[in-house]
Structure 1
Amino acid sequence: MGNLSIVTIVIIVANVLISYKGFNDYNFFDTYKFHVGGIKRGEKFRMFSSGFLHVDTQHLLFNMLTLYFFADIVIQDLGTLSFLFVYIGSLLLGSLLSLYFHKDEYHYSAVGASGAVTGILYSAILLRPEMSLYMFFVPIPIPAYVFGIGYLLYSIYGMKNKVGNIGHDAHFGGAIGGYLITLFLATWLFKTNLLMIGLLAIPIVLLFVLKRMNKI
């Protein structure tokens, strides 16, 4: 069993155990979920602990499967410690962006590893933009960079129109984390994948332009 398997399994096991504790113990869930009011009271740990809680088994399974499929790429290209840096950094940036967008909504709450997992996904896309991804119900492969840009544009749409009970801002924050941290760790990408770096930056810039214009 390689380092990747150990690290991935530890993260998955932590998510499963903590999530199932939350499924069966509402007080535990309520204490450690992302909650704007709680964070403003000084409970900053919620910005980290919420990333290991999930709403239900389906939510947990989707996040852990995504992590399983893309963790390998990041570990192979960056190493185990850098993988953890991307995972934790993306989790926290996802929480920070959620707090930024919902800072005036005292009762806003959220849970899930989506920010961290989306950061790993975006790190993998940045490292291997030539790879193809398959989506549910779409039988043809989609270039990774096309998926990345499209996903962030959809997240902007979701944030603007409050689509579904989904933390689009946490996903977007996680993607920004994966993007920025990977570029910090893998500076060679500026020589090998400069065009892709620029393309993947477009929806990130667009988000903050729209926010500044009060369109979101």
Structure 2
Amino acid sequence: MNSIIIAIIAINVIVSFKGFGDSSFFRKYEFHIGSVRAGEQIRMLTSGFLHVDIPHLAFNMFTFYIFAPIIANNFNDLMFLYIYFGSLISGSLLTYYFHKDEYYYRAVGASGAVTGIIYSAILLYPDMELLLFFAIPIPGYIFGIGYLLYSIYGMKAKSDNIGHTAHFGGAIGGYLITLAIKRELIFENTQMVVLLAIPILILFYLHKNNKL
């Protein structure tokens, strides 16, 4: 296992467990619109290493553990870090953009970074087989597009506590950074690059037309 992957998992575990037992630490570093607007932009990074509870942490780290080696095998460590942290920040930025007027909005979790890693992996291998609900095999690109469409639904419905906006922002980050690093994908697999961009275009179309 790549040492960078192990280090990221270890940092997430250490920081999250610190947050579990220290509420002041958790509040100091979580994503909080009011605090970010007051100048604490560091929260847009630190919140990506905090989690609500052990299941939240375990799910994110297990998903990361599964998909991260795909990225590590295609890029060097520096490019891997660009994708991971770029997706994390992209998730936070999109969350801030959509919720900037909700002073008390809070969020934590590595989901944005992990979703960026997943979308990057799907961009590299769109026909990889993934299991929907851990049982139904589907091509990676169908999973990726479907997941982002579901995220749009979640953003619109606002019926749960899932950070759909951060997930979507992370996917955008993973998509764009991967294309910036591996530009030949645009010419070698143009159709798939366009297909994976469709949910992103739909999101901003809906937002522009005040339908979110």
SS of 2:71's equivalent? Answer: helix
Which letter maps to 1:71? A
Q: Does 1:128 align with 2:125?
A: yes
Which of residues 160, 176, 180 in structure 2 aligns to 1:184? 180
The reply to whether residue 11 of structure 1 matches residue 8 of structure 2 is yes
TM-score (norm 2): 0.98
* Per-residue deviation, 1:123: 0.3
Are residue 157 (structure 1) and residue 153 (structure 2) matched?
yes
Identity %: 61
Q: Which residue of 2 is the match for residue 148 of structure 1?
A: 144
2:116 pairs with 1:119: yes
Which residue in the other structure is 2:207 paired with?
Answer: 211
Q: Does 1:110 align with 2:110?
A: no
Give the aligned residue type for 1:134.
L
Give the C-alpha shift of residue 136 in structure 1. Answer: 2.8
Q: Does 1:93 find its partner at 2:85?
A: no
Shift of residue 40, structure 1, vs aligned partner? 0.6
1:69-80 aligned within 5 A = 69-80=66-77
The structural deviation recorded for 1:192 is 1.8
What value does the CA root-mean-square deviation take over the aligned residues? Answer: 0.8
Aligned partners of 2:62 and 2:182: how far apart in 1? Answer: 25
Structure 1 consecutive aligned stretches of length 4 or more whose deviation exceeds 4 Å: none
SS, match of residue 117 in structure 1: helix
Question: Is it true that 1:174 corresponds to 2:185 in the alignment?
Answer: no
| 1:135 Cα deviation from its structure 2 partner | 2.8
What do the CA deviations read for 1:102-121 (whole angstroms, capped 9, x no partner)?
00000000000000000000
Q: 2:74 aligns to what SS in structure 1?
A: helix
Contact between 1:78 and 1:186, CA under 8 Å: does it hold in 2? no
What secondary structure does 1:78 align onto? coil
What SS is found at the alignment partner of 1:67?
Answer: helix
Equivalent residues, number = 212
* Structure 1, unpaired ranges of 5+: none
TM-score w.r.t. structure 1 length?
0.96
